[in-house]
Structure 1
């Protein structure tokens, strides 16, 4: 049976969810397809928490569906909302409970009228004259043929667009230079007060905001103690611990510290990274218990269901966002979102951070043309699938901005389907107006 839609979204991370909800609310018949059995992508699957950031140093830059998600999390006591970043890397961070994020996203998708398929992947595509006409979806026992007027690729790696013929690059042109992967840890029985006391007594050993009052525990540091990690046969290289309090808990944190190199688009390399990470965590826990104040009784509650992937392939789009575009604050007539996360490159070789300062207030525009893949006429990209070079990508890949590009993709695809006008021929002023009307911030 071949089902027909106005908009089909592949990828149920926060970008795909935002895109699908937006398209459905506008009136498009919309299908959302996710390979896992949960929505949320790395936020729920890989325990990537908190979200960063909804604000520049001057103002709010992300609103719309992203803020709706946060509001609902607050109602369920799944998030305290936006708080000042105690580390001082960004203006605000948004902690949340991953389990409640799963619930909120499913609830919002259902209420919007989006049809949802979980546990399905795209196995084949039919393309005619640069138009994606039909896709095959499959799981272990079933196969479906799906047709749509428009498609949104929210896979994170451009899997749909690439399968349909869009050109792409891997990493910075060398697949071995992709940013490293991280297996996050959920730990309990962590003595937060002991950690805070150590931080107060050793301020030079931490990166901290001048405004930090330790009301929320966010830690980047223990630089001196991390020099001892080699003694514990831990494979990853890192100069600091990075972890965040799990909101509404007394003794639980999410640890974002491990780093594993490899090209996640290669199943052998992805499997190896996952294997090394799972093997490492027990030696890492031993290090924490013996070396880090507050972790003597710590226990692992869970690890991410899958290792978190920062970077794989980059689809070539009508406009490729460059690092110079960010630092020079390039203005675009087709701007559809505003980002404010800094350039934050995790070096694959040693786990160190390479940052590039952005002019105050640290804002940059995202053009619609960076969501439009070359050689495809009815496909829009969303989330970290957007077109950017290796260094710029390290800034534009994060989840709050993914909600904004998801909204823009949803508007674009739905309007194209309704008007029967090819995506690349749409009046961008009309699209920008619609995005603004539904709560988006475009400049």
Structure 2
């Protein structure tokens, strides 16, 4: 089987990469390990999506924005809302079932070939040039050939199989951000919960002008400490973190933290799955006893797999640095913008490690982070692009990786058309096409709009 472009991994970044490559006239195969599309947004219940904005400016558009508009039109999203916590400049609640429906619709409409239940277990290569991938399926092992292969696995699996240089976690000690197992709770008495929130406004993090229209909570620190003192809460968390779901009376809970286990070690990942489910039980018991509004609630959804924040960082033609983000750097070969704060969940404590950043957080991401160093015809997108631990903590979020995926798809398709490797293609061709597709690639474009 021979394709122009093979995309490995059907998370938001991989799906957008596949759509982008197909719209640029490439024959595309999308390969996914599970039976679902949506990656962490579906399999790990990661949401809401944040952030598409820097202040009032929308900085991520293109295919990612197109997807949001479709979800919103179908009643599967509230669209972009101000973040009640004041952490990001916007959040975009999305419904998990809606994501599944819309992503499968896109695959059919765009004419993208899809192979589910296919695990990439090896690469087909000649020296430093990738020719395709070998996948394990119910049909046995299959050899899939592609002119360009995009690694959208999130863990850099294809790149690792190709022998690319990678760094696991942070450079100093190779610890990674913890994994978390989110879950959804229904039949929550939202008016009662909001009343409790208002009565304890000094014990939560929120914007000064929060109007309680959309419910998001980060706090109730005193209640968490009270439960810990009573021996009824032993999770490595100091707060309740939840967001209102699109479904009525439903919230998404992010209170679990599984630390110092590897998301790319099969045995440790299994241990993390078991620990995550145990923590869900403990977190839910705490909510029912200590937080008004949860008395008659029930868990209605747990994830297919634990949410992994960080594993490998693929070393590319450029490594995104924390200084690039703090200094809001601009690059000649910028292919998208991002503005999510540097958000590091501590690998070894209950703390969040934050950097002091200016109110204007918008920075550019260069095309070179998508090009693994020393390899030909291989592109990487998603959270495992070439970035340090600290820089990754900003650009790993869903809107940003969708923008990266759109650029990866354009890059791959143009390389096929011109018979060039990603490193040799003129970056200006990618930029020109991204602008045609409605993406914002330079900060200067915001000043003109």
TM norm structure 2: 0.96
Aligned equivalent of 1:359: 358
Distance 1:58 1:302, change over 3 A: closer
Matched, 1:169 2:167: yes
Query: What aligned pairs does 1:185-334 form with structure 2 within 5 A after superposition?
Result: 185-230=183-228, 231=230, 234-249=233-248, 251-261=249-259, 262-334=261-333
Aligned equivalent of 1:184: 182
Distance 1:162 1:430, change over 3 A: same
Aligned equivalent of 1:28: 26
Deviation at 1:140, TM superposition (A): 3.6
TM norm structure 1: 0.97
* CA deviation string 1:51-89 (max 9, x = no partner): 000001141111011011111111110001001111111
Aligned equivalent of 2:394: 395
Aligned equivalent of 2:89: 91
Deviation at 1:233, TM superposition (A): 5.2
User: Is the CA contact 1:372–1:379 (under 8 Å) kept in the aligned structure 2?
Assistant: yes
Q: What SS does structure 1 have at the residue aligned with 2:22?
A: helix
Deviation at 1:235, TM superposition (A): 4.5
User: Is the CA contact 2:14–2:405 (under 8 Å) kept in the aligned structure 1?
Assistant: yes
User: Is the CA contact 1:20–1:410 (under 8 Å) kept in the aligned structure 2?
Assistant: yes
* CA deviation string 1:16-55 (max 9, x = no partner): 0000000001100000001011011010001111000000
Aligned equivalent of 1:150: 148
| Mapped partners of 1:274, 1:234: distance in 2 | 19
More deviation, 289-298/352-361? 352-361
| Mapped partners of 1:229, 1:388: distance in 2 | 38
Aligned equivalent of 2:446: none
Matched, 1:110 2:120: no
Matched, 1:417 2:416: yes
| Mapped partners of 2:163, 2:150: distance in 1 | 15
Aligned equivalent of 2:49: 51
| Mapped partners of 2:239, 2:202: distance in 1 | 13
| Mapped partners of 2:225, 2:150: distance in 1 | 45
| Mapped partners of 1:421, 1:46: distance in 2 | 37
Q: Which runs of 5+ in 1 are unaligned?
A: none
| Mapped partners of 1:303, 1:160: distance in 2 | 28
User: Is the CA contact 1:232–1:284 (under 8 Å) kept in the aligned structure 2?
Assistant: no
Q: What SS does structure 2 have at the residue aligned with 1:84?
A: coil
Q: What SS does structure 1 have at the residue aligned with 2:58?
A: coil
Matched, 1:431 2:426: no
| Mapped partners of 2:342, 2:309: distance in 1 | 13
Distance 1:176 1:291, change over 3 A: farther
* CA deviation string 1:104-158 (max 9, x = no partner): 0111122111101111011111221311012111224422111111011111111
Aligned equivalent of 2:378: 379
User: Is the CA contact 1:153–1:385 (under 8 Å) kept in the aligned structure 2?
Assistant: no
Distance 1:153 1:175, change over 3 A: farther
Q: What SS does structure 1 have at the residue aligned with 2:185?
A: strand
More deviation, 355-364/225-234? 225-234
| Mapped partners of 1:377, 1:412: distance in 2 | 13
User: Is the CA contact 1:183–1:307 (under 8 Å) kept in the aligned structure 2?
Assistant: yes
User: Is the CA contact 2:132–2:149 (under 8 Å) kept in the aligned structure 1?
Assistant: no
User: Is the CA contact 2:171–2:388 (under 8 Å) kept in the aligned structure 1?
Assistant: no
Deviation at 1:234, TM superposition (A): 4.5
Q: What SS does structure 1 have at the residue aligned with 2:354?
A: strand
Deviation at 1:223, TM superposition (A): 0.7
Q: What SS does structure 1 have at the residue aligned with 2:423?
A: helix
Aligned equivalent of 2:403: 404
Query: What aligned pairs does 1:59-98 form with structure 2 within 5 A after superposition?
Result: 59-98=57-96
| Mapped partners of 1:27, 1:110: distance in 2 | 16
Aligned residues: 440
Aligned equivalent of 1:5: 3
| Mapped partners of 2:234, 2:315: distance in 1 | 34
More deviation, 320-329/223-232? 223-232
